[in-house]
Amino acid sequence: MMGITPMAAVTSSLHLASFLPVVSIPPFYSYSTRFRSCFASRSLISSSAGTRKISPFHVGSVLPQAHLFGISRSRFCGEDRLNKITATTSANFTEADTSVGQEDILQWVKTDKRRPLHVVYRVGDIERTIKFYTECLGMKLLRKRDVPEEKYTNAFLGFGPEDSHFVVELTYNYGIDQYDIGTAFGHFGIAVDDVSKAVELITAKGGKVIRNPGPVKGGNTVIAFIEDPDGYKFELLERDATPEPFCQVMLRVGDLDRSIEFYKKAFGMELLRRRDNPEYKYTIAMMGYGPEDKNAVLELTYNYGVTEYEKGTAYAQIAIGTDDVYKTAEAVKLCGGKITREPGPLPGLGTKITACLDPDGWKTVFVDNIDFSRELE
């Protein structure tokens, strides 16, 4: 369904350019940029579409027709006064219509059927990573595709089918065996029945354990941390059986309150919980579309006093399903997000998508739910 963003597009972004080293890297492909050169942006339908606005001509029609009685318009109410009435009335109606339209869009976001589909990132040896994820983490290889003309390979892995589970999309770009993860990306989370047993298995398979099993700082949940062959960190969380074992993506942000409001209004996510840890000088907020023990969630982390991070070149984006990419893009714009790929169908595929950046420059691609289901079929 989705590849990786072309580096040319990434480096051109005002939000991301300052984070990326100057390197020569072949293109990465994704929903957001793969067909940008051959796709004409589709204009969004105005939020006030369908609402009749009173124009200066309409206003004039409701004023007394003084000229019919031999009285000039300027004598009746004054040219300047008439112009002022016309402009003010038109502006008031336009402002009211726009306000109503904006409220409708933001209200719609709350009822849209949204679900995290997959997270996309780059790896240096896709066969090595597939082996690690299947043998050590217990994931299944769902599908794999090689695109030699574009010089990249994708692999989708997860704990269940893509139509009902949050999955990983790995991308290998020919000839590139290493990427910079940076300081902004945090970790992925996987729920397991027994953290200690999981760590024993991972160690036996040659995996790297960077935090031994034990209670989380300031809490009771038993956790451990491991690293995959590319240096991506995974937090193992001890939980009872859950329908969504691949349960977290942790990203660091520079202003937590700003991020919470953005994801609530623009993405329709709920603030599931917030925890401040002054002893270790950080605060986290769990955002998602349902309880975190049953759904994949976004863990936003704010470290006291840190407002900017290095994003590197490894992590790419999250994909989220939506019923309407056009309304989604409009909501993102209303909430201060940046649209990097205007909503519309992908040429040759037909799947409708839109891509955006949050206030910290984290990228998300929204995919039409019906089109996504059709692709999987």
Residue (of 302, 277, 303) closest to 287 by Cα position: 302
Is residue 327 packed enough to be buried (19+ CB in 10 Å), middle (13-18) or exposed (0-12)? Answer: buried
- Helices 325-334, 79-111: axis angle to 10 degrees equals 120
Give the span between the Cα atoms of 202 and 199, in whole angstroms: 5
pLDDT the model gives residue 99: 56
What type of residue sits at position 260? I
> What letters, b where the CB count within 10 A reaches 16 and e where it falls short, cover 204-235?
eeebebeeebeeeeeeeebbbbbbbbbebbbb
d(Cα 94, Cα 91) in Å, to the nearest integer?
5
> pLDDT, tens digit, for every residue of 228-258?
999 999 999 999 889 999 999 999 999 999 9
Q: Is 279 a catalytic residue?
A: no
Collapsed DSSP state (helix, strand, coil) of residue 199? helix
150 labeled part of a ligand binding site:
no
DSSP string, 300-330: EEEETT-------SSEEEEEEEES-HHHHHH
For 274-314, what is each residue's pLDDT tens digit? Answer: 999 999 999 999 999 999 999 999 999 999 999 999 999 99
For the segment 301-354, what is each residue's pLDDT rounded down to a tens digit? 999 999 999 999 999 999 999 999 999 999 999 999 999 999 999 988 899 999
Residue tagged active-site, from 103, 127, 135, 235: 235
Q: Are 242 and 191 in contact (CB under 8 A)?
A: yes
pTM: 0.76
Name the phi and psi angles at 276, rounded to 5: -100, 135
- Residue 349: what residue type? L
- Which pLDDT value is given to residue 63? 30
- Residue 188 backbone phi and psi in degrees, to 5: -105, 155
Q: In the chain, pLDDT over 70 holds for what percent of residues?
A: 73
Residue the block writes with tokens 């793969």:
34
- How far is it, in rounded angstroms, from Cα 140 to Cα 130? 9
- The sign of the CA dihedral 236, 287, 344, 374 is positive
**Partners of 105 in beta bridges:** none
Residue 115 has φ and ψ, to the nearest 5°, of: -155, 135
Is residue 267 scored above 60 in pLDDT?
yes
Report whether 200 belongs to an annotated binding site: no
pLDDT recorded at residue 349: 86
**Cα 295-191-198 angle, rounded to 5 deg:** 165
Task: Give me the pLDDT at residue 83, please.
Answer: 52
Q: Which residues pair with 189 in a beta bridge?
A: 235, 248
Residue 169 annotated as binding site: yes
Taking a C-beta distance cutoff of 8 angstroms, is the pair 357, 340 a contact?
yes
Bridge partners (DSSP) of residue 158 are 140
**pLDDT for the residue numbered 9:** 34
> What is the band of 123 on the pLDDT scale with cuts at 50, 70, 90?
very high
- Cβ atoms of 171 and 152 closer than 8 Å: yes
One-letter amino acid at 43 equals S
Question: Rounded to whole angstroms, what are the CA distances from 201 to 137, 204, 228, 241, 366?
Answer: 9, 5, 14, 19, 36
Residue 44 pLDDT exceeds 70: no
From CA 27, how far away is CA 24, in angstroms rounded?
10
Do residues 213 and 225 lie in contact, with contact meaning Cβ atoms separated by under 8 Å? no
DSSP annotation of 14 reads T
Confidence of residue 206 (pLDDT cuts 50, 70, 90): confident
Is residue 230 a contact partner of residue 179, using CB atoms and an 8 Å limit?
yes
Average pLDDT over all residues of the chain: 81
Cα 42 to its chain centre, rounded Å, is 20
According to the model, what pLDDT value does residue 80 have?
53
User: How far, in Å, CA of 109 to CA of 327, rounded?
Assistant: 8
Task: Render pLDDT for 175-188 as a digit per residue (tens, 0 to 9).
Answer: 999 999 999 999 99
**pLDDT tens digits, residue range 67-90?**
323 333 333 344 454 454 445 444
Rounded-to-integer distance, Cα 100 and Cα 35, Å = 34
